[in-house]
Structure 1
Amino acid sequence: MDRISSIVTSIWKSLILLTYNKVGFAGFLVVIAIVLMTYVGSRFVELDTKTKVDQIYITPSLEHPLGTDHQGRDVWTQIVHGGKDVIYVAFIAALLSTTIAVSFGTLSGFVGGTVDAVIMAITDIILTIPQFPLLAVLAAFISFSSLTFLGVLLGLLSWPALLRAVRSQALSLKQRDFIEAARALDLGIWHIVFRELVPNMMPYIVVSFALAMTGAVYAQAGLVFLGLVPIQSANWSVMTQLAWVRGAIFFKDSVWYIMAPIMAIALLQLALITMTRSLELIFNPRLRASE
């Protein structure tokens, strides 16, 4: 019971800290609103899949808040349902890339020597490969039909820059007194890396995770827009690609069809970036004094 009470208190304090930065808190609320809309709201809002020739490219109204598309389908319901795939792929990619970067970056910086040389050599090789052209080539041989596979692939290609940054953090922290004390106590490499170093890098790691999500959102949107990912569901990226192919941007009545998913993606990106301001306050006590 005491443990549950402690967890609840910790969560409540974190929520209070989120409010210290108004812009960051606004970003946090927008992220929560988008997640609730896509994962909860989609259960109550039925996706409009019927073709209605007489309602093609209707401008926004009370019945259709964001107008209709090239088949007369309601754009708002597509926006509500279209965020799940985008968020899912971005989360998988960010989680994998951050895990790889933090684990091997910390190990590389702390251990040094041959381990550092090998990890950094692999990192430099991956960094020299242009990611988007590589994904375009892979799309010709590998099917991106699985959302999980797409997220894993994006994650496997997006960790090198973060790893170098984490390594630099580890090189700085390993000179601190508390690390020297842990070494003197012979606590072991894995204990020092994951129990001493990583917790002290949490502010940077959390911010990097949010930024990795934004990068993954842009990457998958680009792949879908270029037609490199099979169109299997109505998500924001697919909506943008279909609207462009149909020339929606060139007609006044259809501009809402292409602008709605673009604005949804941009709003999610902006919210994630601004949210990092408040997340830094939770994990970095030194920043709270300046707020």
Structure 2
Amino acid sequence: VFFILLATIGPIIVPAPIVTSVNPKDIFLPPQLNNPYYILGTGPIGDSILGDIVAGAPFLLEVAFLAGLFSTAIGLTIGILSGYLGGIMDMILTSITNIVMTMPSLILVIILVTMIRTSNPLIISLILSISSWTGLALSVRSQVLVLRSLPYIEVNKLLGLGTWHTVFREIFPNLASYIAIHFIFNVEGAVYAAVGLYFLGLLPINPYNWGVMISNALNDGAVYGGSALYYLLFPSVFVVMFMVGLIFLTYGIDEISNPRLRRY
């Protein structure tokens, strides 16, 4: 919730830094407790670190959630079709999934982003989800193979209720919590990938991106305890906080959906 508010309301409350002239005295200042806008310190051109982080949050979260959505949709569709239809369709879709799984996904993503060089969040999300759907597809297939043999599914078939009714009314609800957890894991992986690609400079430079901030801080000697330490520290903290929040969210969903994990 915090990061959703950070990405939606944050830019309204905390405007993006606008630096018209660089004053050497304002570069890499430590946290300024007497000024909320500079409470996290300043960056390499005297810009507010808080302002940079808030300005970069909407794009990063948009890419992450879109990538998670695409990965989940592809994996869910292929898994359900493969498990429910069976036969030749199952063989074809499973073969495609296994082939994609054997591809070096990191190298493939790096090649694609280097060739395309786009800052469009939709295209970046599609690239990040190009191979992250395979695990979900195989898992959903296994679940559907079990579900389709249950008596009430057989009754639906005998009553002629149709494939769409059976899939969306009987099978899909049993996969809801499972899908939600995989979606969150895909979002988590997309955040790591997006930050990493910007950190490596493989995507067009966005000064507000957290990966670019970390890269610039390292280039300015932050790892050696220099004045750029806070410019490295706070973006890294926000990335870790977002990851930890997603992990706790998956634990919560798993505890709600799995009776064996409930404490009361």
Q: Give TM-score, length-normalised by structure 2.
A: 0.92
Using the TM superposition, give the Cα deviation of residue 206 of structure 1 relative to its aligned residue in structure 2, in angstroms.
0.5
Using the TM superposition, give the Cα deviation of residue 288 of structure 1 relative to its aligned residue in structure 2, in angstroms.
7.6
Q: Give the match for residue 119 of structure 2.
A: 145
> What are the superposed Cα offsets for residues 225-252 of structure 1, whole Å, 9 maximum, x if unpaired?
1111001351212212222233322234
CA distance in 2 between partners of 1:56 and 1:140 (Å): 32
CA distance 1:56–1:233, change in 2 (3 Å): closer
> What are the superposed Cα offsets for residues 21-44 of structure 1, whole Å, 9 maximum, x if unpaired?
xxxxxxxxxxx1121122102112
CA distance in 2 between partners of 1:289 and 1:267 (Å): 25
After superposition, the CA RMSD in angstroms is 1.7
For the 8 Å contact 1:280–1:287, the answer to whether it is kept is no
Using the TM superposition, give the Cα deviation of residue 216 of structure 1 relative to its aligned residue in structure 2, in angstroms.
0.4
CA distance in 1 between partners of 2:173 and 2:16 (Å): 43
Q: Give the match for residue 26 of structure 1.
A: none
Q: Give the match for residue 12 of structure 1.
A: none
What SS does the aligned partner of 1:135 have? Answer: helix
Letter in 2 for 1:187: L
Percent identity of paired positions between Structure 1 and Structure 2? 34
Q: Give the match for residue 230 of structure 2.
A: 256
CA distance in 2 between partners of 1:277 and 1:140 (Å): 36
Q: Give the match for residue 164 of structure 2.
A: 190
**Structure number with higher relative contact order (C-alpha < 8 Å, ≥ 6 residues apart):** 1
Matches within 5 A, 1:100-111: 100-111=74-85
Q: Give the match for residue 214 of structure 1.
A: 188
Q: Give the match for residue 117 of structure 1.
A: 91
Q: Give the match for residue 259 of structure 2.
A: 286
1:237 to 211, 234, 242: 211
CA distance in 2 between partners of 1:34 and 1:99 (Å): 23
CA distance in 2 between partners of 1:61 and 1:279 (Å): 39
2:108 to 134, 155, 174: 134
Q: Does 1:68 align with 2:42?
A: yes
CA distance in 2 between partners of 1:289 and 1:34 (Å): 27
Q: Give the match for residue 43 of structure 1.
A: 12
Using the TM superposition, give the Cα deviation of residue 86 of structure 1 relative to its aligned residue in structure 2, in angstroms.
1.0
Letter in 2 for 1:286: P
Q: Give the match for residue 81 of structure 1.
A: 55
CA distance in 2 between partners of 1:274 and 1:164 (Å): 25
Using the TM superposition, give the Cα deviation of residue 99 of structure 1 relative to its aligned residue in structure 2, in angstroms.
0.7
CA distance in 2 between partners of 1:193 and 1:69 (Å): 53
CA distance in 1 between partners of 2:111 and 2:8 (Å): 33
What SS does the aligned partner of 2:47 have? Answer: coil
Structure 2 gaps, min length 5: none
Q: Does 1:58 align with 2:32?
A: no
What SS does the aligned partner of 1:145 have? Answer: coil
Letter in 2 for 1:253: S
Using the TM superposition, give the Cα deviation of residue 190 of structure 1 relative to its aligned residue in structure 2, in angstroms.
2.4
Letter in 2 for 1:211: F
Letter in 1 for 2:48: D
CA distance in 1 between partners of 2:32 and 2:71 (Å): 42
For the 8 Å contact 2:113–2:127, the answer to whether it is kept is no
What SS does the aligned partner of 2:129 have? Answer: helix
Letter in 2 for 1:53: P
For the 8 Å contact 1:102–1:198, the answer to whether it is kept is no
Farther-moved stretch of structure 1 (47-56 vs 87-96)? 47-56
For the 8 Å contact 1:48–1:73, the answer to whether it is kept is yes
For the 8 Å contact 1:107–1:193, the answer to whether it is kept is no
What SS does the aligned partner of 2:115 have? Answer: coil
Q: Does 1:265 align with 2:234?
A: no
Letter in 2 for 1:263: V
CA distance in 2 between partners of 1:140 and 1:100 (Å): 24
Q: Give TM-score, length-normalised by structure 1.
A: 0.84
Q: Give the match for residue 131 of structure 2.
A: 157
For the 8 Å contact 1:79–1:235, the answer to whether it is kept is yes
CA distance in 1 between partners of 2:207 and 2:165 (Å): 44
